[in-house]
Amino acid sequence: MKQPDSVSITGVGLTSSLGHSYNEFASNLLTRVSGIERVSAFEVSDHPSQIASLIGEIPCPAGFDETEFRSRLRIEQCGIWCAETALRDAGWQQRPEGLRIGLVLGLGAEWMQSWEMDYRRGGRRAFDPTEEPAGLTTKVHRLMGLRGPQLTISAACASGNWALSQGRRWLELGWVDICLAGACDIGVTPLSLAGFGNLRALSRKNTTPHAALRPFDRDRDGMVLGEGGAVFVLERTSSAMKRGARRYASVAGFGATSDAHHMVIPCPEPKQGIAAMRQALADAQVAAAEVDYINAHATGTPVGDVCEAKILQAVLGDSISSVPISSTKSLTGHLLSAAAAIEAVACLIALERQVAPPTVNLEDPDPECAMLNHVWKEPRPGDIDVTVSNSFGFGGNNTCLVLKKAA
């Protein structure tokens, strides 16, 4: 039986507190520039957590009307910027007529964010949705004149991995020639900062923003919200090679399960998280010992990091002491629905630059996470051909994505 063509990533568009392009993001990630700061976009003195990783003004893509772009909600600006710059990065500034480009976006709270923004502007859409516009995916699809199918998908913090998986599937089916897949989240709003803060999910180290998010550290006290997004151009590898496109990596494996345990708390016996990682490795036809770098979900919450350490220990077995692991959330913050997408970018950087980015603020590893081969303090150079990115979300969503270096 003929094997399906593999799927390659040929373009990246992103915006985050560490930059608005792949190279800027890579440079800041590897020099350990923290994007976390005190929130100044709105009043936070009464919020339990007053810090976040913010992106500031999102650039207007070339060819777009600046005034029209600025009139849009920030979540729309984020989606448009990421999708357009990803296509340009892949060399698709000019696109042949009839090219079928699909669009899959991971979005978790776009409506709440748009209602809140509208309310702050004096609007009433949350009370009466008569004039409710189309969703972000539809808007981007129409604005860019795309001709493939479209999809909005949400698995909380795992949404970005889902988007890449669905985009890969559409390419395998031949439904699209190219697929834009990624995720966006502009989740740092007054209400969400309060909601997550009251949930006691956020760090309260308000006076030391850069040191606040401490994955796997004994002194961790919660995550720090971030905002941004990343969108990838996916193409069949054979097609990408024929047109001479740059290939960042291949999307080699994906696994997904659900805990069915609790709407917020991960299952303390993480059978399903383990199953998701094993599915992804099997899908990629990779043994645990062949993994060269793992970008952990590790949000810096007391419960979640220990749970993930158990998953990693079960899946890696004897390789637990040799596979480098880090959490780049310590620099980027937790981008919520877009977390998996921005962490896939971190994996691309590891593959391209042959260096694993570090977990910053990890100074005293939690004894229950001490068995991991932490990349801490400094980036660690190495031969990196296979990366794994874990993303686990509220509602017990477990996902794992395997990316391989382009051959």
Partner 1 sequence: MSTNSYPDQSRPMNCGSLECTLTSYATARILNDDIVPLRKQSDTLPGNLGNSVLRHSDEQTLTALVAIKDAFARFESPPEHFQNWGVVFSSRYLGRTAFAQSLNKFAVDGPWNVSVQVVPNRSLHSPASMLGLAMGCHGPCVGVGGGLDGETDAWLTATSLLDQHGIPGIWLVFSGWEPDERIDTMGTPLIQASCTALVLALQPATAANGLAQMKIVYDPAAPVALEVPATVTAMTLFENFMAAGNPEQGMTAFLGGGLRAEMEWSAAFEQTIPLRTPISTPQKKAA
- Residues in 264-293 at the binding interface with partner 1, rule: CB under 8 A: 264, 272, 275
Judged by beta carbon, residue 102 or residue 365, the one nearer partner 1 is 102
Query: SS3 for 333-384, per residue?
Result: CECHHHHHHHHHHHHHHHHHHCEECCECCCCCECHHHCCCEECECCCEECCC
Burial of 305 (0-12, 13-18, 19+ CB in 10 A): buried
State the nearest-atom distance from the C-beta of 326 to partner 1, in Å: 26
Window 234-253: contact mask with partner 1 (x via CB under 8 A): --x-xx--xxxx--------
Distance CA(50)–CA(236), nearest Å, equals 44
State the nearest-atom distance from the C-beta of 154 to partner 1, in Å: 4
| Residue 150 near partner 1 by CB under 8 A | yes
| Residue 389 near partner 1 by CB under 8 A | no
In 10 A of CB 262, how many CB atoms? 12
Is there a catalytic annotation at residue 374? no
State the nearest-atom distance from the C-beta of 317 to partner 1, in Å: 22
Find out whether 247 and 8 touch, Cβ atoms under 8 Å. yes
Backbone phi and psi for residue 325, each to the nearest 5 degrees, phi listed first: -135, 135
| Residue 153 near partner 1 by CB under 8 A | yes
Q: Which of 56, 133, 268, 381 binds partner 1 (CB under 8 A)?
A: 133
| Residue 46 near partner 1 by CB under 8 A | yes
Judged by beta carbon, residue 90 or residue 342, the one nearer partner 1 is 90
| Residue 159 near partner 1 by CB under 8 A | yes
In 10 A of CB 215, how many CB atoms? 30
Where does this chain touch partner 1 (CB under 8 A) — which range of 159-167, 313-321, 350-358, 382-390? 159-167
Q: Which of 219, 262, 269, 287 binds partner 1 (CB under 8 A)?
A: 262
Is there a catalytic annotation at residue 334? yes
Q: Which of 129, 268, 317, 381 binds partner 1 (CB under 8 A)?
A: 129
- What is the b/e burial string over 317-355, where b = at least 16 CB atoms within 10 angstroms of the residue's CB? eeebeebbbbbbbbbbbbbbbbbbbbbbbbbbbbbbeeb
| Residue 64 near partner 1 by CB under 8 A | no
For the segment 168-187, give every residue that binds partner 1 (CB under 8 A).
169, 172-177
* CA angle 103–108–111, rounded 5-degree value: 95
Distance CA(247)–CA(253), nearest Å, equals 17
Q: At what angle do helices 339-353 and 159-173 cross, to 10 degrees?
A: 70
For the segment 188-207, give every residue that binds partner 1 (CB under 8 A).
190-199
Count of residues making up the chain: 407
| Residue 392 near partner 1 by CB under 8 A | no
For the segment 329-348, give every residue that binds partner 1 (CB under 8 A).
none
State the nearest-atom distance from the C-beta of 398 to partner 1, in Å: 9
State the nearest-atom distance from the C-beta of 51 to partner 1, in Å: 14
CA dihedral sign, ordered 190, 196, 202, 205: positive
For the segment 84-113, give every residue that binds partner 1 (CB under 8 A).
90-92, 94-96, 98-100, 102, 107-112
State the nearest-atom distance from the C-beta of 391 to partner 1, in Å: 12
| Residue 70 near partner 1 by CB under 8 A | no
Judged by beta carbon, residue 59 or residue 123, the one nearer partner 1 is 123
Of the residues 20, 141, 334, 374, only one is catalytic, namely 334
| Residue 151 near partner 1 by CB under 8 A | yes
Residue with tokens 């190495």: 382
Where does this chain touch partner 1 (CB under 8 A) — which range of 56-64, 256-264, 317-325, 376-384? 256-264
CA 44 to chain centroid: 26
Find out whether 106 and 341 touch, Cβ atoms under 8 Å. yes
Q: Which of 116, 221, 290, 352 binds partner 1 (CB under 8 A)?
A: 116
Across the beta sheet with 228-236, the strand order is 101-106, 178-185, 228-236, 7-15, 249-258, 397-405, 386-393, 293-295, 324-326, 373-374
State the nearest-atom distance from the C-beta of 56 to partner 1, in Å: 22
Q: Which of 62, 63, 65, 127 binds partner 1 (CB under 8 A)?
A: 127
Q: Which of 404, 68, 22, 21 shows the shortest CA–CA distance to 250?
A: 404
Is there a catalytic annotation at residue 297? yes
Binding residues for partner 1, how many (CB under 8 A)? 89
For the annotated catalytic residues, the residue numbers are 157, 297, 334
